[in-house]
């Protein structure tokens, strides 16, 4: 099976608006204050492991 990859020029691209929850409601990240935007960039996704307290 052969797949094709679309190649777009910069002027053909459409900006993607990212929304996330902050202060209890959803808003576009571009509307956040600089501090919240920085926190959003620093986020890391992880899988929480069972705590040591629950294992005993």
Give the model's pLDDT for residue 28: 92
Residue whose C-alpha is closest to residue 18's, from 47, 40, 34, 38? 40
Residue whose C-alpha is closest to residue 31's, from 18, 16, 15? 18
Q: What is the pTM of this model?
A: 0.48
Give the model's pLDDT for residue 34: 93
Task: Read off the pLDDT of residues 1-56 as tens digits, 9 standing for 90 and up.
Answer: 678 888 889 999 998 998 988 778 899 989 999 998 898 888 877 777 776 666 55
Give the model's pLDDT for residue 9: 92
Give the model's pLDDT for residue 51: 66
């Amino acid at each position: 099976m052969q797949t094709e990859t679309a190649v777009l020029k910069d002027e053909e691209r459409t900006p993607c608006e990212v929304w996330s929850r902050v202060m209890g409601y959803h808003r576009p990240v571009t509307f956040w204050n600089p501090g919240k935007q920085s926190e959003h960039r620093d986020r890391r996704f992880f899988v929480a492991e069972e705590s040591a307290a629950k294992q005993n």
